[in-house]
């Protein structure tokens, strides 16, 4: 008992489920069939008993007629990587995960496969606070890489094994999240993985988890000291406190390592057969990757694992626990960019594990914003508008008539493009504008608080904004609500400036529905510069003032106009500008400046 903590969800005490997976799996690299056993100890920390559980069987999406297939064939702007490729798959290329048997506490349970979800009726409920042991025998077939995972990627990587095992769905304060696999995926249960993979001894494996038997394996992990006549090797990985387990393997991988000072060991796995220029990029990537790691560790929170792997694989760039799969045939800038983005996800998804289906912007937008900053530093790009691309993309979306609120479920956008721009760019602008609203110092304090409070948990948008509120002392729910749950836009303008007894009365106008505090810059004809700051009344405070900035009275949102007077005659004024630094997503910047003649 006791008072609920201020930042808990729905005013209840925070809790989360827990998993311990032990898997022993064998992969046939010729047929791409695999299978084995999975023992799952599932602990129900929910305040209620559970009578059913659900597993994701992601690979079932890669069969003609699946929801992913049909959605891709019926959406106006399909992801070109998917298109109608699933509908054309032949049987030998189908993806699937078949469950051969399943027991709960040693007794068989009944289950039914519904597309990409396994529905399990429990023999006996898992009581609140208790654990159940599920033992499963399963077999799978790896589809070609169509989306994220699969065999024989376009660049010839043999195995990109994401979303490959029967994965229990998350149950949290909102209940079950047994989402079918249509497009988006991450909301997994935190826990520990112990995974044994047996496959052809010529394959080098990289992925989530620490290798337990490096000297049996070699392959750049250890000095091989055991001889074996077998054509197979068994790789034993342990991954503590993660919510996913991913791996990739290829007989042609180069394996480089680099130690991050005060950080993890980095592993780079990429094809020996890459063209020379690409291989050069992969060598050149290694030092920047160390800098990216240090940037996030210093600015958000220390990287908590001993290892991170950048692995060539998949179909673009995708984040996983302790690793990323990225395509490798890229310009140097693109390779650094994608690596920075995916490493950003270590924090914004693999530590602060928000529900990606419901709030995709909370990880994608934040990864995008932060990676752009570090990427510019590494590539030596100096710009006063680092988020210009994201602003421009958002402006185009907002004016297209195709925008849906960011709070839309990630699978329910009418257009993929609207999902993408909303999630990545408008999502990045959450941070860009929050920095404007609460100020530089409070902004970085917020990210640290968010990490310290929510790493290894499942934060929601409200949990994030509460961190910003406690860091800044300001009320910010209006920002979260308008920016993420509506398509309201920001538009402030300088309406006029009139003379009044040697003074000037400046009138500003709020044209858009979305509120914002306002910064005004006035340049006088003699080159003088005055900066004013108008807090939004509903913030109930103001950000710290900068330099010689002058604090004006609050602007209460409902008033469309706001006037203030300055001690200069209009004839002395050259220009009056709102948001001169282009920090807000003001939808019409044409009316932001008034030039006086």
User: 203 or 350, CB closer to Zn ion?
Assistant: 350
**Terminal C-alpha separation, the chain:** 68
User: 120 or 367, CB closer to Zn ion?
Assistant: 367
User: 367 or 573, CB closer to Zn ion?
Assistant: 367
Please state, in angstroms and rounded to a whole number, the distance separating the CA atoms of residues 365 and 480: 14
DSSP annotation of 592 reads G
CB of 317 to Zn ion, least distance (A): 7
Q: Give the SS3 label for residue 192.
A: strand
User: 319 or 491, CB closer to Zn ion?
Assistant: 319
Residues 22-81 that bind Zn ion (CB under 5 A): none
User: 72 or 324, CB closer to Zn ion?
Assistant: 324
CA-based nearest residue to 400, from 475, 489, 315: 489
CB of 343 to Zn ion, least distance (A): 10
CA-CA-CA-CA dihedral for 252, 146, 161, 372, to nearest 10? 90
Please state, in angstroms and rounded to a whole number, the distance separating the CA atoms of residues 281 and 283: 5
Instruction: Sketch the per residue contact string, 421 through 450, with Zn ion: x for CB under 5 A, - otherwise.
Output: ------------------------------
DSSP annotation of 424 reads I
Contact 356, 363 (CB under 8 A): yes
Residues 345-364 that bind Zn ion (CB under 5 A): 364
Q: How many residues sit in the footprint of Zn ion (CB under 5 A)? A: 2
User: 364 or 542, CB closer to Zn ion?
Assistant: 364
CB of 320 to Zn ion, least distance (A): 11
Residue 483, H or E segment: helix 477-485
**Residues forming beta bridges with residue 39, ordered by sequence position:** 22, 135
CB of 22 to Zn ion, least distance (A): 30
CA-based nearest residue to 169, from 120, 124, 103: 120
Please state, in angstroms and rounded to a whole number, the distance separating the CA atoms of residues 250 and 248: 7
CB of 419 to Zn ion, least distance (A): 12
Instruction: Sketch the per residue contact string, 362 through 381, with Zn ion: x for CB under 5 A, - otherwise.
Output: --x--x--------------
CB of 318 to Zn ion, least distance (A): 8
User: 145 or 367, CB closer to Zn ion?
Assistant: 367
Phi and psi angles of residue 310, each rounded to the nearest 5 degrees, phi first: -105, 115
CB of 400 to Zn ion, least distance (A): 22
531 Cβ contact partners less than 8 Å away, ≥ 6 residues apart: 519, 520, 521, 522, 546, 547, 548, 549, 550
CA-based nearest residue to 315, from 87, 62, 132: 62
CB of 84 to Zn ion, least distance (A): 25
CB of 179 to Zn ion, least distance (A): 18
CB of 389 to Zn ion, least distance (A): 15
CB of 244 to Zn ion, least distance (A): 14
Instruction: Sketch the per residue contact string, 535 through 574, with Zn ion: x for CB under 5 A, - otherwise.
Output: ----------------------------------------
CA-based nearest residue to 360, from 346, 347, 374, 349: 349
Please state, in angstroms and rounded to a whole number, the distance separating the CA atoms of residues 40 and 177: 18
DSSP annotation of 245 reads -
Contact 393, 421 (CB under 8 A): yes
302 Cβ contact partners less than 8 Å away, ≥ 6 residues apart: none
**Within 10 Å of residue 85's Cβ, how many Cβ atoms?**
19
Find tokens 């990216």 and name the residue.
292
CB of 134 to Zn ion, least distance (A): 31
User: 150 or 360, CB closer to Zn ion?
Assistant: 360
Instruction: Sketch the per residue contact string, 264 through 293, with Zn ion: x for CB under 5 A, - otherwise.
Output: ------------------------------
Burial class, 577, CB count within 10 angstroms (exposed 0-12 / middle 13-18 / buried 19+)? middle
CA-CA-CA-CA dihedral for 69, 70, 71, 75, to nearest 10? 110
CB of 351 to Zn ion, least distance (A): 14
Strands 96-104 and 131-141, bridge-based pairing: antiparallel
DSSP annotation of 463 reads H
Contact 251, 203 (CB under 8 A): yes
Please state, in angstroms and rounded to a whole number, the distance separating the CA atoms of residues 501 and 270: 73
Contact 472, 455 (CB under 8 A): no
CB of 341 to Zn ion, least distance (A): 5
Residue 179 binds Zn ion (CB under 5 A): no
User: 194 or 363, CB closer to Zn ion?
Assistant: 363
User: 58 or 320, CB closer to Zn ion?
Assistant: 320
Helix and strand totals (H; E) in the chain? 12, 31
User: 182 or 367, CB closer to Zn ion?
Assistant: 367
User: 367 or 447, CB closer to Zn ion?
Assistant: 367
CB of 360 to Zn ion, least distance (A): 9
User: 118 or 340, CB closer to Zn ion?
Assistant: 340
Core vs surface per residue 417-434: b (16+ CB within 10 A) or e: bbbbbbbbbbbbbbbbbb
User: 185 or 194, CB closer to Zn ion?
Assistant: 185
User: 164 or 350, CB closer to Zn ion?
Assistant: 350
The residue ranges that bind Zn ion (CB under 5 A) are 364, 367
């Amino acid at each position: 008992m006791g008072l609920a903590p201020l930042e808990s969800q729905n005013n209840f005490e925070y809790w989360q489920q827990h998993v311990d997976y032990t898997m022993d799996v064998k992969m046939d690299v010729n047929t791409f069939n695999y299978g084995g056993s999975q023992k799952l100890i599932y602990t129900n920390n929910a305040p209620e008993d559970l009578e059913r559980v659900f597993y994701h069987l992601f690979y079932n999406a890669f069969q003609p007629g699946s929801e992913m297939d049909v959605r891709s064939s019926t959406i106006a702007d399909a992801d070109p990587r998917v298109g109608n490729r699933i509908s054309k798959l032949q049987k030998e290329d189908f993806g699937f995960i078949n469950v051969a048997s399943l027991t709960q506490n040693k007794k068989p349970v009944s289950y039914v496969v519904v597309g990409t979800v396994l529905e399990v009726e429990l023999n006996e409920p898992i009581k609140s606070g208790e654990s159940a042991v599920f033992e499963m025998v399963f077999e799978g077939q790896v589809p070609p890489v169509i989306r994220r995972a699969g065999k024989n990627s376009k660049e010839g990587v043999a195995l990109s094994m994401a979303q490959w095992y029967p994965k229990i769905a998350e149950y949290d304060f909102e209940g079950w999240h047994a989402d079918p696999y249509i497009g988006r995926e991450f909301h997994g249960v935190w826990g520990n993985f112990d995974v044994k993979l047996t496959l052809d001894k010529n394959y080098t494996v990289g992925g989530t988890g620490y290798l337990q038997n490096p000297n049996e394996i070699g392959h750049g992990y250890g000095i091989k000291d055991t001889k074996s006549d077998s054509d197979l090797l068994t790789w034993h990985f342990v991954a503590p406190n993660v919510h996913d387990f991913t791996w990739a393997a290829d007989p042609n991988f180069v394996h480089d390592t680099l130690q991050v000072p005060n950080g993890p060991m980095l592993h780079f796995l990429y094809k020996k057969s890459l063209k020379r220029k690409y291989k050069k990029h992969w060598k050149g990537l290694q030092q920047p990757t160390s800098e990216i790691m240090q940037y996030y560790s210093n600015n958000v929170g220390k990287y908590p694992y001993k290892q991170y792997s950048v692995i060539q694989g998949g179909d673009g760039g995708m984040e996983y626990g302790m690793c990323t799969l990225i395509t490798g045939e890229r310009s140097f800038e693109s390779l650094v960019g994608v690596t920075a983005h995916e490493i950003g996800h270590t924090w914004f998804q693999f530590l602060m594990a928000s529900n990606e289906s419901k709030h995709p912007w909370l990880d994608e937008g934040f990864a995008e914003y932060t990676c752009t900053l570090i990427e510019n530093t590494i590539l030596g790009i100096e710009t006063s508008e680092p988020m210009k691309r994201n602003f421009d993309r958002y402006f185009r979306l907002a004016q297209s008539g195709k925008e849906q609120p960011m709070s839309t479920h990630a699978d329910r956008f009418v257009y993929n493009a609207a999902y993408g721009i909303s999630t990545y760019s408008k999502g990045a602008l959450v941070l860009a504008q929050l920095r404007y609203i609460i100020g530089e110092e409070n902004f970085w304090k917020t990210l640290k608080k968010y990490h310290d409070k929510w790493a290894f948990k499942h934060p929601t948008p409200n949990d994030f904004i509460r961190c910003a509120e406690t860091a800044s002392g300001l009320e910010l729910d209006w920002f979260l609500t308008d920016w993420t749950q509506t398509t309201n836009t920001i538009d402030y303008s300088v309406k006029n400036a009139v003379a009044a007894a040697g003074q000037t009365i400046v009138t500003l106008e709020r044209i858009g529905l979305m509120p914002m505090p306002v910064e005004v810059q006035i340049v006088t004809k003699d080159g003088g510069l005055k900066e004013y700051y108008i807090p939004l009344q509903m913030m109930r405070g103001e950000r710290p003032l900068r330099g010689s900035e002058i604090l004006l009275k609050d602007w209460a949102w409902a008033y469309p106009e706001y006037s203030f007077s300055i001690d200069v005659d209009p004839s002395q004024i050259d220009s009056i500008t709102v948001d001169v630094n282009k920090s807000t997503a003001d939808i019409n910047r044409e009316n932001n400046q008034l030039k006086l003649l």
